[in-house]
Structure 1
Amino acid sequence: MPCSSFTNQNMNILQVSPYNIFPKNTGGDERTQGIAYPLAEDHHVIRYCTNGILTKLYEQWGSDSISLDYKLEMNGVTEYQPNSLLLDLPNVIGYLSMSQFGKFISSKILNMRIPSDLDSLCRWADVTIIERPWFVKTISNDYDTHVIYSSHDVVSDLYDSVLGDFPLRDAFLKSVKNIEEEALTSADHLICVSEEDVVRYHEKYSIEIPSLSIPNSVSQERFAEKEYVTNDPNHAVFLGANRKPNQNAVKKIIESTQIVRETHPRFKTSIVGSVSNHFADLDMDCINLVGYVEDLGDTLSKFDIALNPVTEGGGSSVKMIDYCSSGLPIVTSEFGSRGFGFKDREHVLISETDTTQFADAIRTLLDNDDLRRKIQQNSQEFACKNYTWEGYKDDLLDILPDI
């Protein structure tokens, strides 16, 4: 609910996230931090993550060192990662079944019992930005803080596309829709990744709420010059977290890579990000499983082209801007390029999602030096101009004076 009137200088801003953000390893992490850190230049920004100790151990499994720090800081944002076992129970369930179900249960637990440290922060906050719909209603109803619902996707549509034969699918979807609708009716402002999502919310729920569209972006420092590859480009990359849409995309990439190898025997594709974990048993010369990397920009700069045959999911693909910022020409499905305004053969090469057709598009980019150079240069310039978090700072600040 709206709090009493105040100026927009030196506000206390709380961001509530269902995931630990530091260290960043998914597109969702990038967006959550991207929404917060431009505000930290003018305001006090604290993020509270509704995860616990088991989640931190799981996320850092295999690392050289493991940190259980409760408080971390980056780019002016202070992040609290509680070591609560209670908050971890839903995540354990999620790991055993599916993460979507875990977050659904997490919302039920948190709505029944707000942890004392989160309670104190909600009372401290002038503005609370809540990532995803799970906790919007409770915080909006129980605290005198201006609530901004930060939507990463139309979550009910996303779950509808990935649940498959999940037990009690219809009942679960109905509950998710209720939570999403309650978030929209409880919040004071809505941030979406695209105008399409704003329209979709209105079509689905007929709810009027002040809305701001901020597309997935990256920090300005990520844009760097890349030496243009003219001689025998042969190494592609796919980037993704361990989500079903990315898993299905990798399956298509494996098939397409094998087809491309018939005419380009040195061609191979590297899979970067936690989606590699899903294919840990894969043993193919043409597929390299890289996994999580700390320096994404440096890693991506080593490749010749980027791939994104994603055909399902919600929001927009942060990986597309990651590719652009690293100077990689992209072969993508039409769905994969949604929400950014990319033009075919101008900023990206759009392909049908059939594996043979996608392989043909890869060959086209490999064999056409002029097209590859054009797409590389145009996409990087276009993304640098339109898709940086710093570029949307004023839009974010414009929400605050309305309080």
Structure 2
Amino acid sequence: MSKKILVVAPYTFLPARSGGQKYIAQFLDALGQQARVTVISTAQDTGYTPSEHYRLLPVLPYSFFRYADVTLTATLIDLIERNHYDWICWEHPYYGWLARIIKEKTGIKTLLHTHNIEYQRFRSLRKVWWPLLERYERKTFQVADKIAFISKEDSQFAIQNWQINPVNCLEIPYGTLLKQCPTDKAACRAALVEKHTLDNQQTILFFNGSLDYAPNYSALKQLLKELMPRLQKEYPGRFALLICGKGLPKKDKDLHAYRSLQVYYAGFVEDIERYFKGADLFLNPVTQGGGIKTKMIESIAYGTPVISFRSGAI
């Protein structure tokens, strides 16, 4: 008989657009085909397609204060006792305080599914409170019976620095649903050339990310201030840069000032796969943040080479 698993996903992840959302959505779809899964989360965005592989209960509020909501204790204990779950899985360590209480009250086996070492990400963002997060995260790791890491590097860090038993460490890398390299790359490239009025002889560079996230915006500025001016000076007209992603500050005026450098801002696009497949190179000049840069995995899966800084490489 298959195991019964309760999953706590602390934020909206459907429709899956960001790397973190896709990681959760794909993991839950796969897990739901191996076990009977119930997911506790926030209400999802309109237009999402419910998964047939798990049951979703939107009981978490949108407010940031949900991470300190003590009423969740009774809700989760009641669910566990009524449904006799074998495991509870926590996405991210944010609910570490609650995970400890639930384990003590019910004795349920606990899995922590991490996306990165969180404190390292916030330290790179120069958040002054990162030492507090480091202690909290370490204690949360010690609560879990098993910890799933996105990379071997994160797993080794926890083993070597936080004395986590290697037996309790799993590796669940970010993957792709593609079964073969796309066959329509040429057609996608032609569509991008037409849409953005490019020269077909140009090398199409591509950058994608939420631009209201500081590391992505900082990376964009490096492309605009450093890379593109140099390329246009050395190789006039031979390169075009396509940029996708929501959240560009209004003061940047859709990057019209950089059009002479062959820079084109497309904003948020629904058909992001077309850009991944149609570009000649995907750029990852991100130096801040942590974990695996999931967009790199997607680009490689679509058959498009990636150029990255060492800190973001895989």
- C-alpha distance in structure 2 between counterparts of 1:308 and 1:266, whole Å: 20
Partner of 2:183: 225
Matches within 5 A, 1:4-403: 9-49=1-41, 51=42, 66=46, 73-74=50-51, 76-82=53-59, 87-90=61-64, 106-107=66-67, 109-110=68-69, 112-114=70-72, 118-123=76-81, 124=83, 125-142=85-102, 143-162=106-125, 164=126, 166=127, 169=128, 172-208=129-165, 210-220=168-178, 223-227=181-185, 232-241=201-210, 242-255=212-225, 256-262=227-233, 263-265=235-237, 267-274=239-246, 276=248, 281=253, 282-283=255-256, 284-285=258-259, 286-338=262-314
Moved more, 130-139 or 309-318: 130-139
For structure 2, which runs of at least 5 residues remain unmatched after alignment?
191-199
2:2 is paired with a residue of what secondary structure?
coil
Shift of 1:232: 2.0
Shift of 1:195: 1.4
2:278 is paired with a residue of what secondary structure?
coil
Shift of 1:185: 0.9
- C-alpha distance in structure 2 between counterparts of 1:31 and 1:278, whole Å: 30
Partner of 2:195: none
- C-alpha distance in structure 1 between counterparts of 2:204 and 2:270, whole Å: 20
AA aligned opposite 1:337: A
For structure 1, which runs of at least 5 residues remain unmatched after alignment?
1-8, 61-65, 91-104, 339-403
AA aligned opposite 2:28: A
Shift of 1:219: 1.4
Contact 1:137 1:186 in 2 (8 A): no
TM-score normalised by the chain length of structure 1: 0.64
Shift of 1:186: 0.7
- C-alpha distance in structure 2 between counterparts of 1:226 and 1:334, whole Å: 30
* Count of residues in correspondence between the two structures: 290
1:37 is paired with a residue of what secondary structure?
helix
RMSD across aligned positions (CA): 2.8
- C-alpha distance in structure 2 between counterparts of 1:81 and 1:221, whole Å: 32
Shift of 1:10: 2.4
TM-score normalised by the chain length of structure 2: 0.81
Shift of 1:198: 1.3
- C-alpha distance in structure 2 between counterparts of 1:318 and 1:43, whole Å: 26
- C-alpha distance in structure 2 between counterparts of 1:89 and 1:201, whole Å: 30
